[in-house]
Structure 1
Amino acid sequence: MAMILQLSTFLHQFWYARQHAVAVKSPIALRMGVLSTAMINYAAIFKPAQTHPDVIIHAIASRDAKTAADEAKKYGIPKSYGSYQALLDDQEIEAVYISLPNGMHCEWAVKALQRGKHVLLEKPFTSNLEEAIELVKVAKEKGLILLEAFHWQFHPAAHFVDHLVASGRYGKILRTYSRMTTPAGTIPASDIRYKYDLAGGSLMDMGYVISSTRFFLGVGAPEEVTSARARVWPHDVSGKVDEAMEATLTFRSPMAPKSSGKVVSEIYSDMRRENVGWVIPRFWEMPSIEIECEKATIYFFNFMMPHFYHYVAVTDKKTGKTETFKHYRASDSGIPTKWGSRGEAWWSTYRYQLEAFVDKVRGREPVHWVSNEDSVDQMRTIDMVYEKSGLGKRRGTGQVM
Structure 2
Amino acid sequence: MDSIISQQIAQEIDLIIDSAANTTLDLRYDLALDAHVNDSYQLMMFAKKCKNLKLLIHYSTAYANGEREGLLYEKPFIMGESITKEKLTSNSPSAKFPSLNAVNELDFVSKLKNSIKNNEFKKIMKELGAEKYLAFLAKLYGWHDTYSFTKAMGEMVIDSMRENIPIVIIRPSTITTSYEQPFPGWIQGLRVIDPAIVFYGKGDFPGVLADPNCLVDVVPVDMVVSATMSAIAKHGYLQSPELNVYHVASSYVNPLSSSQLLNYSYEFFSSFPFVNSKGDQVKVNKMKYFDNMLDYSNYISKELLKQHDEGGELTHEVEHSKMQMLLKRKVEYLKNFSKVYEPYGFYKGWFHNGNMQKLMEDV
User: How high is the TM-score relative to the length of structure 2?
Assistant: 0.27
More relative contact order, 1 or 2 (CA 8 Å, 6+ apart): 2
Point out the structure with the larger strand share. Answer: 1
Q: Give the greater-gyration-radius structure (CA).
A: 2
Q: Which has the higher helix share?
A: 2
Normalising by structure 1, what TM-score?
0.25
